[in-house]
Every structure is written in C-alpha cells, then in structure tokens.
Amino acid sequence: MSETLENLLQETRRFEPPGDLAADANVKADAYEQAGADRLAFWATQAGRLDWTKQWDQVLDWSNPPFAKWFVGGTLNVAYNCLDRHIEAGRGAKVAIHFEGEPGDRRTITYSDLHTSVCRAANALTALGIEPGDRVAIYMPMIPEAAVAMLACARIGATHSVVFGGFSVDALKGRIQDADAKLVITADGGYRRGKPSALKPTVDESVAECPSVEHVLVVRRTGEDVSWTDGRDLWWHEVVETADPVHEAQPMDAEHPLFILYTSGTTAKPKGILHTTGGYLTQVSYTFNAVFDHKPDTDVYWCTADIGWVTGHSYIVYGPLSNGATQVMYEGTPDTPHRGRFWEIVQQYKVSILYTAPTLIRTMMKWGDDIPAEYDLSSLRILGSVGEPINPEAWIWYRQTIGRGETPVVDTWWQTETGGIMISPLPGVTATKPGSAMRPLPGIVADVVDDQGNSVPNGGGGYLVLREPWPSMLRTIWGDDQRFIETYWSRFSNMYFAGDGAKRDEDGDLWLLGRVDDVMLVSGHNISTTEVESALVSHPKVAESAVVGATDPTTGQAIVAFVILRGAAEGDDALLGELRDHVAKTLGPIAKPRQIMLVPELPKTRSGKIMRRLLRDVAERRSLGDVTTLQDSTVMDLIQNGMSAGK
C-alpha cells in the first residue's frame, strides 16, 4: 500500500467554506481542540445534548477491550429523545416527515402525529407479548411505518433487526433465524419502478422455516391480495391504528441493545452488527448536527438511503429525529416516472441538505446535466456523500451541477460497524479537497498504519484503523463474540481495523482507497482500484468505471477496466486507446489498463456498491461466484456477452 500511486495527492483544487456558513456554523474549529484535550469530556458534553432519565456514573468502561461500555449506569429512552421531548418543548406541530410515495401520494407527518403512531405501535407490540430484549424483524418498503416500527421497538426496549426490503427469502430467513426474532413487521408490498412490488410472499416463505416467529404484522400499502395465516398474521391498521395512543416511554440502560443490522455482504457472510442505546444516540445525534450543520428552524433534510441500511438507521431515523429535523422520505427509484424525480423532490420541498451516494451521483452524471438544469435547486446549501469513495470528478460535478458551485460537499466515511460518521469535513470549518474525506471528526482517533501497525508519515498509504473506542461503536457481532474479535481487533493489536485502505496526504488529510481486498498488485506495485477508476472518470467522456486486477502471466495482475460512457458519448477503438493513454498520463505507465470494456451497467449490491469480485470473475473468464446480493442479475449477462464478443 505504501507504493500507491501519487495522483490523488496531486489534486490541488480547494474549496473554502462559504463565509456566512462558517460564521454561523454549529461546530467551529475549536471542537477539535476541545476533543483533543479531553476526549471523554467531549463525548460527555455531546451526551448532554440528549435527555437522560438517569445520569451516567462513568463515560467509558474499557476495562475489557474490545468490549466497550459507554455512559455506564445512565438510562434514557431513544424514542422519547426523538419525539416526546420536542413536543414538550412546544414543537409538536413541526413537520417530521414529508413522505413522497413513488406513485406520487404524499403525507405530511408532524412530530405529534409521529408520536401518536409510535405510542400506538408500542402498545400494540406490548399486547403481542413483545418484551424488552426481544428481537423484532422489520422488512418494509420506504414508508413512514418503517420508522414508526423502529421507534416503537426502541420505545419498549425491543431490539429491531431491519432487513432491506429488496432481499430474498434466503437472506431474510437467515437474518430472522440468526436473531431468533419473535415478530416480523412487513407490508403487503411497496412501489418500485412504477409498479407494486410484493413483500408478503417473501415473508411467508421465510417464516415457514422460522419457528421463533409468533406473529407477522402487515401494513397495507399496495392493496394487492396477500395470502393469510390466521392466528399468525395481523393487519397493522387493525392492531396498531386502534391501539391506545397514550404510552409512557420506559428508561433503558445506556448499553441496552437497540438494534442488530447485518452488513450488506459485499465481502463475506453478513455479520449481525449490534448497536446499543446511549452511546449510539449520542454520536448519531451529534454528527447529524455537526456534519450537516443542521438548523432545526430552517433546514429541510433529505437522505436518499433506504432504511434497511445503516445510513437509513442513523441519518433518516435516529440522527435527524433526535435533532427535531424536518425531512423528506421518498419511497421509490430515482428514474420513476422520469429521470428528474430527485430534483423535482428537491424543488418541491425546498430541500436544503441532501445526503446521497456516489453511485447515484455518477448515474445522474451519466444521464446528463440538462436534467437537473430543469429544476430550481437553489434551496440546497449542503451536499453529503456516503457509501463508496467519491471520485474527484464526481465530487466536482456534484458541487457544480447540483450545488451551483457554492455548496460545501461533505464526503463522509463510516461503516455499519461504526454506527455514525467518523471521517468527514465540517462544512463551516474545512477547506475541502475533491475526493477526500479529510479528517476524523472531533472525538475520533483514526490513523493510517503500515503492515506492522506503525503510523505512516504524511504522504504515505496503508490501512485505516481507529485507535480509540467511540460511543457508537459496534459492541459485538450478534451471538459471536469470537468473530467480533477476529474480524476487527486481530489484524493489529489494540486497534480497530476497518478493512479499508487509505492515504494521508502532505497536509495530513485522508483519502479513502476502498477495501484492502480490492488493491491490485501489478509488476510489484500496489495500485488501488479507486485511483484508476478516478483517473478514468476524470476523462470527459466517462461517467463511471470499475477496475479489477486479473491474473496475468507477465505482470502478476493486470488492470482490467469496465467503463460506462457519459450521456451521448459514442465508444470505438480509438476512444478505448485514448482512455488507456489518459490513465497512463494521469497515473503513470504502470497503471495503464491492459483492457478496457465499455459496458451499459455495472454489477452493484442493493446498497449501490460495485461488486468487483464478480467483475474479476468475468475478467478471468471464470464462472460467477455468489450473485444473490446483486441488485440486477441481468447486468452480468450484458457484461459477459460483451466480453465474448471481444469488445
């Protein structure tokens, strides 16, 4: 990793925070000093942003690493912090959620409305025999009831396990069984790509092999026919909407299990990541306020993630609601019924903070600038990115085309395991660099180390680690402490190893390079896939690319690139030659791809991440490995056909 190429470090563009934003920012530069002087006191201050029913005795108990306890002895209720306290402060009439269904149906839900729904659901769950510590699986479309279900669990101390609504029978079954869930909350279906997409049949098939499940609670969304198991299945509108709207939130221990969330499975068998109550809420609440500079009286926030991913947990449900935010929730796909849908939503609700993923940004680039140009995006003041490294050109496009060349872009690095944002610019403080997540947030101690675990100097590259525990850290892998230790704490002693590679530039700022498994070894040089991809995307005709190392008799591994062209660009042999030369010129001859293939799509997980593992299979002409987490399996046929046609 130390030999990684130098191109990213040659990025010289800098963007200072807008003056008025900096002057009025929630978090200023002194936060780094305060946290640096006394990290635990800093986190105690942030915990003080929440309402506790009992103050903690100790901020951090790290006597049995890597098993951390934060805010030991404290008690609080997460749902109370997300709802009741705003109402008690006179903000019950404030809009919590502007819901936009894919077919165009809309609902405006105030904090009081949401509170009433959550109280009813809490009473209904209790009546169904759900007790603190019981697990509840939630398999839902992106509708407000998904958030209600999560908050109702939090309110009564049940541990939720949200499973992304696009997952298959096997994925759902495995997750229900792993957590021994007693209840499954689902819907008849949701809307995707202009039509109803059923969920209940998947639940029926899964639950048939899940003896722990006593009931299935079903929200009616699409109105399509569903099969019904009497005694087991219950309609939400019959059980929840008729329940008592009065419910008193019960205090939970700071370390009470709040949720289990299985990682997206890009690299290995999904792991049930366990998050607890006090530390988790402290960190997601603080980071939402800090990273998005959220102003409760004026901002309208929209995170385009699905609630089934950690981004949806931390930055649709718990972070925004604990801060009393007004947000947009959208059910469907970005191109239904047309490719301007996202920008239409921004215009409609005057969204001021947008949080989305590089995969979507690159897709919008591919569709062309004339689409966002049709909408009024002047309400936007902060743009966030999460999920993958963002290529510098995609970052610039986001800032220029969506952000009028004025809005700060915050590239936020974090994981299911970290619970909240760890590395990110602060919009009122940081002079950003396109493609860099910049610095660990105040209170976070991240580092880049070599094979031996020594910090690399500025200008070096290596493994991204976290040297100190943080409040929203995972507490374990559900039911498998040993795997928790082996996966995250064994590669280096006394450090959390995230699995990602990173570089530290001459100023000490961090550049994420993707997973260490994706680094290629070409003629003895370590080259990161991210860097070659970014070089390709910096060519004006390229929208998106994925790069893999394929076994090569002479160089060990050779670089094979899959490329999607922008809008109207036409591909031919001359262009392929031009692209190969462009990479060589940008990064040096060692990084010149052996082969470039033009493809219409790339294989992505359902959370939008490129699955390089499958492309490596194609490049090495092997049969494909596990494709079950692929978003669209026909993509691989398109790519393989192109390959055999010799393109």
According to CB under 6 A, which residues from 215 to 254 bind ligand ATP?
Answer: none
- C-alpha angle 535/540/544, rounded to 5°? 60
- C-alpha angle 362/363/369, rounded to 5°? 85
The set of residues, in sequence order, having a beta carbon less than 8 Å from that of 101 and lying 6+ positions away, is 107, 143, 191, 331, 332
> Is there a contact between 515 and 539 (Cβ–Cβ < 8 Å)?
no
The set of residues, in sequence order, having a beta carbon less than 8 Å from that of 370 and lying 6+ positions away, is none
> Is there a contact between 606 and 264 (Cβ–Cβ < 8 Å)?
yes
Instruction: Tell me the CA distances in angstroms from 636 to 165, 363, 558, one per residue in order.
Output: 22, 18, 21
Residue 417 amino acid letter: E
Note the maximum CA span of the chain: 72
| Cβ nearer to ligand ATP, comparing 515 with 616 | 515
> What's the rounded Cα separation, in Å, for the pair 627 and 621?
16
Q: Does 409 bind ligand ATP (CB under 6 A)?
A: no
Q: Does 267 bind ligand ATP (CB under 6 A)?
A: yes
Q: Say if residue 603 is exposed, middle or buried (CB neighbours under 10 Å; 0-12, 13-18, 19+).
A: buried
| Cβ nearer to ligand ATP, comparing 240 with 386 | 386
- Candidates 30-38, 508-516, 521-529, 546-554; binding stretch for ligand ATP (CB under 6 A): 508-516
Q: Which residues are bridge partners to 159 per DSSP?
A: 135
Taking CB under 6 A as the criterion, the residue among 515, 580, 592, 616 binding ligand ATP is 515
Q: Side-chain half-sphere of 573: how many Cα atoms within 13 Å?
A: 2
| Cβ nearer to ligand ATP, comparing 60 with 409 | 409
Taking CB under 6 A as the criterion, the residue among 264, 327, 436, 538 binding ligand ATP is 264
Q: Does 386 bind ligand ATP (CB under 6 A)?
A: yes
Strands (E), 523-592: 525-528, 542-552, 556-565
| CB 26, min distance to ligand ATP, A | 21
For residue 413, say whether it is annotated as part of any ligand binding site: yes
> Is there a contact between 470 and 444 (Cβ–Cβ < 8 Å)?
yes
Q: Does 356 bind ligand ATP (CB under 6 A)?
A: no
Task: Report H helices in 210-293.
Answer: 236-239, 278-291
Tokens of 342: 């996202």
- Candidates 157-165, 384-392, 567-575, 579-587; binding stretch for ligand ATP (CB under 6 A): 384-392
Task: Report H helices in 294-432.
Answer: 310-312, 319-322, 341-349, 358-367, 392-397
| Cβ nearer to ligand ATP, comparing 1 with 386 | 386
Tokens of 92: 């019950």
Taking CB under 6 A as the criterion, the residue among 257, 332, 372, 387 binding ligand ATP is 387
Q: Does 266 bind ligand ATP (CB under 6 A)?
A: yes
Taking CB under 6 A as the criterion, the residue among 8, 187, 310, 550 binding ligand ATP is 310
Q: Say if residue 272 is exposed, middle or buried (CB neighbours under 10 Å; 0-12, 13-18, 19+).
A: buried
| Cβ nearer to ligand ATP, comparing 416 with 545 | 416
According to CB under 6 A, which residues from 590 to 609 bind ligand ATP?
Answer: 607, 609
Q: Does 518 bind ligand ATP (CB under 6 A)?
A: no
| CB 387, min distance to ligand ATP, A | 5
Strands (E), 163-205: 183-187, 189-192, 195-198
Q: Does 163 bind ligand ATP (CB under 6 A)?
A: no
Taking CB under 6 A as the criterion, the residue among 413, 478, 484, 562 binding ligand ATP is 413
According to CB under 6 A, which residues from 7 to 36 bind ligand ATP?
Answer: none
Name which of 562, 553, 574 is nearest 619 in CA terms: 562
Q: Does 389 bind ligand ATP (CB under 6 A)?
A: yes
According to CB under 6 A, which residues from 439 to 498 bind ligand ATP?
Answer: 498
Residue 278 amino acid letter: G
| CB 530, min distance to ligand ATP, A | 8
Q: Does 425 bind ligand ATP (CB under 6 A)?
A: no
Q: Does 500 bind ligand ATP (CB under 6 A)?
A: yes
> Is there a contact between 271 and 477 (Cβ–Cβ < 8 Å)?
yes
According to CB under 6 A, which residues from 608 to 627 bind ligand ATP?
Answer: 609
Q: Does 412 bind ligand ATP (CB under 6 A)?
A: yes
| Cβ nearer to ligand ATP, comparing 76 with 303 | 303
Residue 600, preceding peptide bond in cis (omega within 30° of 0): no
Q: Are strands 195-198 and 189-192 parallel, antiparallel or unpaired?
A: antiparallel
Q: Does 200 bind ligand ATP (CB under 6 A)?
A: no
Q: Does 416 bind ligand ATP (CB under 6 A)?
A: yes
> What's the rounded Cα separation, in Å, for the pair 150 and 114?
12
Q: Does 1 bind ligand ATP (CB under 6 A)?
A: no
| CB 492, min distance to ligand ATP, A | 16
> What's the rounded Cα separation, in Å, for the pair 316 and 322?
10
| Cβ nearer to ligand ATP, comparing 80 with 492 | 492
| CB 309, min distance to ligand ATP, A | 6
Report which DSSP code applies to 79: H
Q: Does 528 bind ligand ATP (CB under 6 A)?
A: no
- C-alpha angle 246/249/251, rounded to 5°? 165
**Which helix (H) or strand (E) is 615 found in, with range?**
helix 612-619
Q: Does 420 bind ligand ATP (CB under 6 A)?
A: no
Strands (E), 331-460: 353-356, 382-385, 409-411, 446-449
| Cβ nearer to ligand ATP, comparing 301 with 413 | 413
Q: Does 499 bind ligand ATP (CB under 6 A)?
A: yes
Q: Say if residue 1 is exposed, middle or buried (CB neighbours under 10 Å; 0-12, 13-18, 19+).
A: buried
Taking CB under 6 A as the criterion, the residue among 66, 265, 278, 460 binding ligand ATP is 265
Q: Does 272 bind ligand ATP (CB under 6 A)?
A: no
| Cβ nearer to ligand ATP, comparing 96 with 512 | 512
For the chain, the residue count is 647
Q: Does 502 bind ligand ATP (CB under 6 A)?
A: no
| Cβ nearer to ligand ATP, comparing 157 with 389 | 389
For residue 250, say whether it is annotated as part of any ligand binding site: no
Q: Does 175 bind ligand ATP (CB under 6 A)?
A: no
| CB 444, min distance to ligand ATP, A | 14
Handedness of CA 618, 622, 626, 627 (dihedral sign): positive
Handedness of CA 260, 264, 266, 270 (dihedral sign): positive
| Cβ nearer to ligand ATP, comparing 271 with 341 | 271
| CB 213, min distance to ligand ATP, A | 24
For residue 195, say whether it is annotated as part of any ligand binding site: yes
For residue 491, say whether it is annotated as part of any ligand binding site: no
Q: Does 435 bind ligand ATP (CB under 6 A)?
A: no
Sequence ranges of the binding site for Mg(2+): 537, 539, 542
Sequence ranges of the binding site for CoA: 192-195, 311, 523
Q: Would you tell me which residues interact with ligand ATP (CB under 6 A)?
A: 263-267, 270, 309-310, 386-389, 411-413, 415-416, 437, 498-500, 512, 514-515, 607, 609
